[in-house]
Amino acid sequence: MRIAVYGAGGVGGYFGARLAAAGNDVVFIARGAHGAAMAAQGLQLKSQLGDLHLEKVTVSERPMDLAPIDLVMLCVKLYDLDEAAAALRPALSKDALVIPFQNGVDSEERLSDVLGADRVAAGIAYISATVAEPGVIAHHNTSCTLVVGPQADGQAGGQAERLQAFVAAGKAAGFSAVYREDMNRALWEKFVLLAPFATVTALSRQPAGVIREDADMLALFAAAVQEAVDVGRAAAVDLDDEIAERCVSGMQALPPHMKASMCHDLEAGRRLELEGLTGAVMRLGERHGVDTPVHRTAYAALKPYRDGA
């Protein structure tokens, strides 16, 4: 099984490197200085779980150079999703499977429109990792888990066996890998924390420690969480009664310096995943008749920075 990692940043770079080090046939789709560094000097991981240096990796900017591809870990930013799907289509093998590991809740639907629903599964990555410098991934804690399953409609079809094989490969590579059938619920369980955290850290330009120590800012975060939960339930997602409270309590466990990647992108002048996070809560709220004043206000304030500095 040839595994292609499309987007070799913190998520794709870390898990792809671990899979490759365990002997899997892993290829990387990366561009710019990071891709050039990987081609010239390989890929390095700096991690509390053990450093790693793959001195030689197979990397290209074009998926067709790496065809045929059997499984794709799609780790690009939400705003690059459509372009990536179009580029992947001719490079996939007959029974290929594409698993998006992204922050939103509509990647599967968007990919299915281009690739077909039978070729698209669902995935969630739990990790804090970034590109420290071209060719080097920094893993910032000891958390590293992938959750995969059939698309959000819950129909496993012929995907279960291939997903289970991927989970087995992940476990053999030394990281946590989990198979779940109820991926729609799993995606929303992450989204109702991530979208508000991205929204409030980007809007305030402040990390978790500052937000949780200020009563007004913590109340803002709690209100944003409740909006996301209300939208999810209006969209018929089975979210339990304690999830909003767990999200707010979970702020206490975050490293005090932690910010969402959207905040880091804002501060660096890069494009923002605004439409897929803050904007998604706002739009889904409008669709289902749920008012989302926190997300609506934050969206308006952050919109001028959506495409970068």
251-264 pLDDT, tens digit per residue, is 988 889 999 999 99
Q: Where are the chain's structural domains? A: 2-181, 185-305
Please determine, for residue 64, whether its predicted confidence score (pLDDT) is greater than 60.
Answer: yes
Please determine, for residue 156, whether its predicted confidence score (pLDDT) is greater than 70.
Answer: no
CATH code of the domain made up of 185-305: 1.10.1040.10
Please determine, for residue 116, whether its predicted confidence score (pLDDT) is greater than 70.
Answer: yes
Q: What is the pLDDT of residue 152?
A: 56
Distance CA 244, CA 193 (A): 8
Nearest to 299 by CA among 206, 220, 199, 227: 199
Distance CA 170, CA 285 (A): 36
The pair of three-digit structure tokens given for residue 229, joined into one six-digit string: 């939960």
Please determine, for residue 157, whether its predicted confidence score (pLDDT) is greater than 80.
Answer: no
Q: What is the pLDDT of residue 84?
A: 96
Virtual torsion, Cα 289, 299, 238, 222, nearest 10 deg:
-110
The pair of three-digit structure tokens given for residue 64, joined into one six-digit string: 């067709």
Rg, C-alpha atoms of the chain: 19
Please determine, for residue 147, whether its predicted confidence score (pLDDT) is greater than 90.
Answer: yes
Instruction: Report CA-CA distances (Å) from 86 to 16, 59, 80, 115.
Output: 22, 19, 10, 8
Using 50, 70 and 90 to split pLDDT, how confident is the model at 51?
A: very high
Q: 174-219, pLDDT tens digit by residue?
A: 999 999 999 999 999 999 999 999 999 999 999 999 999 999 999 9
Please determine, for residue 151, whether its predicted confidence score (pLDDT) is greater than 90.
Answer: no
Quick check: 196 and 225 in contact, CB under 8 A? yes
Neighbouring C-alpha atoms within 13 Å toward the C-beta of 176: 10
Please determine, for residue 240, whether its predicted confidence score (pLDDT) is greater than 90.
Answer: yes
Quick one: three-class SS letters along the chain? CEEEEECCCHHHHHHHHHHHHCCCEEEEECCHHHHHHHHHHCEEEECCCCCEEECCCEEECCHHHHCCEEEEEECCCHHHHHHHHHHHHHHEEEEEEEEEECCCCCHHHHHHHHHCHHHECEEEEEEEEEEEECCEEEEEEEEEEEEEECCCCCCCCCCHHHHHHHHHHHHHCCCEEEECCCHHHHHHHHHHHHHHHHHHHHHHCCCHHHHHHCHHHHHHHHHHHHHHHHHHHHCCCCCCCCHHHHHHHHHHHCCCCCCCHHHHHHHHCCCCCCCCCHHHHHHHHHHHCCCCHHHHHHHHHHHHHCCCC
Using 50, 70 and 90 to split pLDDT, how confident is the model at 86?
A: very high
Distance CA 123, CA 4 (A): 15
Please determine, for residue 292, whether its predicted confidence score (pLDDT) is greater than 80.
Answer: yes
The pair of three-digit structure tokens given for residue 195, joined into one six-digit string: 């979208």
- The number of beta carbons lying within 10 Å of the beta carbon of residue 76 is 22
Mean of pLDDT over the chain: 94
Distance CA 140, CA 163 (A): 27
Q: What is the pLDDT of residue 153?
A: 55
Please determine, for residue 274, whether its predicted confidence score (pLDDT) is greater than 60.
Answer: yes
Average pLDDT of 156-163? 81
Please determine, for residue 42, whether its predicted confidence score (pLDDT) is greater than 90.
Answer: yes
Question: Could you check whether 2-181 and 185-305 share the same CATH topology?
Answer: no
Please determine, for residue 162, whether its predicted confidence score (pLDDT) is greater than 80.
Answer: yes
Using 50, 70 and 90 to split pLDDT, how confident is the model at 121?
A: very high
Q: Is 2-181 a domain of CATH 3.40.50.1970?
A: no
Average pLDDT of 287-305? 98
